[in-house]
Chain A
Amino acid sequence: MTTPASPIDGASAAAIRCVGLLQDLGITHVVTVPDNTSALILTALGEIALASADRPGGKTAVRLLYATREGEAIGLASGLWLGGAIPVVLIQNTGLLEAGDALRGTASRMGAPILLLITCRGYAKARGVGLDPTQAEVDRGVLVRDDLDSVAHMTESTLRAWGIPFQYLRDSSDLAPIETAFVQAQEDERPVAVLIDTSFD
């Protein structure tokens, strides 16, 4: 794990560890549409990039690219991979739904081993009302209830339908699922997702 030589202002320790892991895996680019969970990782990426620029001879910083929508992020990452880079995509599960045909038609059909880091909107909300978002049936109640985010109840089934293997990251102090998913993507030659059901505070 890469540990920055000096503390970095504003970025949480968990987010810095996450970025360090991405650097260790050889990730060259993070392509993203931000949300409140990923914001902490993006802060760490930006600040580590600044710190790296001040430290000649250090590891190359991971380049951060913002997209206008999640499907664009997938296409952009697929092009980066075609060009020899090693990108990851960092989006929310709502954006995953937006990106369906981009994912199917580019990264998946290309056999591009792109790691998808997907933050899990709605999971905590579901648990707060006693529902398991991975189990609850998506009936009309789930679709229309004000106290739920329906996307939480569609995320796993969507990934299964699209042929995207996934695992959960439920504790930001244990980043092993990211490394496992990265290795699986390389071995299987296809996108693999990590569902981020935790915060990086």
Chain B
Amino acid sequence: MLTKDELLRPLAAYRTDEVVVTCMSATRPWGRLSDHDLDFASADSAMGHTADLALGIALAQPSRRVICLNGDGSMLMSLGTLVTIAGSGAKNLVLFVLENGTYEITGNQPIPGSGQVDFPGMALAAGFPRVYSFNRDVGYEDALPEILAADGPVFVGVGVEPGSEGPISRSSREESRYLQTSLARSSADFRRAITDS
């Protein structure tokens, strides 16, 4: 398995003007590595809807690449979205699913089917034209340029070690800029940034 840092640090290094939508336990770690106007935290809101939210952004902005950092527990809450994404033909969407096997935010309770679920297999069966799977950092960083340039929708399943991220709030006490304002303010700022740029 990769640590979250091994997953996210190379991604932050390669990322240029792509949208990055984060979810649950990826939210703070990404915010420590990135402070970009096109980062959006789908956190402290509706669990299970990060992937469909990211698909919407991708369809509204077809010339801009959208990277979604979803969790495995969140993905399970809306598995049908794999089919919706694949059926949409959104070439500019890259869906990462961070497979830690747990609901990390609430104390690492196991997700249903933890250790048995084949997310990349389900993405393939749903119709994703490109599916990657990494359980060690071997090959991951080398594959990133291809992942970020490929015609999608692209699915990337990554086995990651469970961490100890606690509940996420939106307040000035949060370290990351994208968590320091309300969801409404953050949404308005993001929409302005993406339509102005």
Q: Which residues of A contact B (CB under 8 A)?
A: 28-29, 63, 65-69, 71-72, 74-85, 87, 101-102, 104-106, 109-112, 189
Contact = CB atoms under 8 A, between A and B. Distances in A.
27 contacts: A66-B87, A67-B80, A68-B81, A69-B78, A69-B80, A71-B78, A75-B49, A75-B52, A76-B53, A76-B55, A79-B52, A79-B58, A82-B40, A82-B191, A83-B57, A83-B58, A83-B191, A85-B56, A85-B59, A101-B46, A101-B47, A102-B46, A105-B45, A106-B46, A106-B49, A109-B182, A111-B187
Contact of B194 (A69, A84, A102, A111): A84
Given A71-B78, A111-B184, A84 B191 contact: yes
B56 A80 contact: yes
Nearest to B57: A83
Nearest to A83: B60
A136 B53 CA distance: 37
B56 A78 contact: yes
B80 A72 contact: yes
Interface in B18-58: 40, 45-50, 52-58
Contacts of B88: 65
B187 A82 contact: yes
A75 B46 contact: yes
Nearest to A73: B52
B49 A77 contact: no
Closest 10 CB pairs of A and B: A79-B56, A105-B46, A83-B60, A68-B80, A75-B49, A75-B52, A111-B184, A85-B60, A105-B45, A79-B53
Contacts of B80: 67-69, 72
B1 interface: no
A81 B194 contact: no
Nearest to B62: A83
B134 interface: no
A127 to B, nearest CB: 34
A77 B194 contact: no
B183 A110 contact: yes
A166 B11 CA distance: 44
A106 to B, nearest CB: 5
A72 B187 contact: no
A109 B194 contact: no
Contacts of B46: 71, 75, 101-102, 104-106
Interface residues of B, number: 33
Contacts of A189: 184
A105 B183 CA distance: 9
Contacts of B49: 71-72, 74-75, 78, 102, 105-106
Nearest to A77: B56
A106 B58 CA distance: 17
Contacts of A65: 59, 88
A105 B55 CA distance: 17
A54 to B, nearest CB: 22
A49 to B, nearest CB: 15
A154 B188 CA distance: 32
A74 to B, nearest CB: 8
B190 interface: yes
Contacts of B187: 82, 110-112
B109 to A, nearest CB: 19
Contact of B190 (A66, A71, A82): A82
B84 interface: yes
A72 B52 contact: yes
Interface in B48-82: 48-50, 52-61, 78, 80-81
B67 to A, nearest CB: 13
Contacts of B59: 29, 63, 65, 76, 79-80, 83, 85
